[in-house]
């Protein structure tokens, strides 16, 4: 499976550019993302350290300090490369099965510090939100 990370100024611009990836909503004229192949509103960020935060029960814990990248992000899954998605909005193309990055607008060093949330299950990219086991 090939995944495309696209960046737009906002969701309205993405909807206008990608009408084929939407379905009819309940309300007349309303369009919704086809979540069988789309993850809308993906958060792209870098972690700039940690800070102490109150846990609401009198204690503290360390939480990440995130620097969110500007723009509105969407991930689109395709069974093979789709030249129609490889335009100006395309930030990254990845092969989900191998974890290979097929195209990116940044350097490998910069990509290594990038996190995306959420991503498709089964992704094995060198980026993306770290998966941590739940703690008791």
pLDDT in tens, 39-69: 999 999 988 888 888 888 988 888 888 899 9
| Whole-model pTM over 0.75 | yes
Range of the domain at 25: 2-117
Examine residue 71 and state whether it is found in any structural domain, yes or no.
yes
Residues of the chain predicted below pLDDT 70: 124, 126-136
Examine residue 46 and state whether it is found in any structural domain, yes or no.
yes
Domain count, the chain: 1
CB 68 within 8 A of CB 87: no
Examine residue 47 and state whether it is found in any structural domain, yes or no.
yes
Would you state the pLDDT for residue 134? Answer: 39
């Amino acid at each position: 499976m090939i995944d495309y990370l696209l960046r737009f100024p906002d969701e309205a611009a993405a909807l206008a550019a990608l009408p084929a990836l939407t379905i009819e909503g309940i309300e007349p004229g309303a369009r919704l993302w086809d979540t069988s192949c789309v993850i809308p509103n993906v958060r792209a960020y870098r972690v700039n350290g940690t800070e102490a935060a109150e846990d609401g029960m009198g204690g503290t814990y360390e939480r990440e300090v995130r620097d969110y990248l500007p723009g509105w992000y969407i991930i689109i899954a395709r069974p093979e490369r789709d030249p129609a998605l490889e335009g100006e909005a395309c930030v990254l193309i990845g092969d989900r099965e191998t974890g290979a990055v097929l195209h990116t607008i940044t350097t490998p060093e910069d990509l290594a510090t990038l996190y995306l949330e959420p991503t498709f299950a089964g992704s094995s990219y060198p980026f993306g939100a770290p998966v941590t086991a739940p703690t008791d």
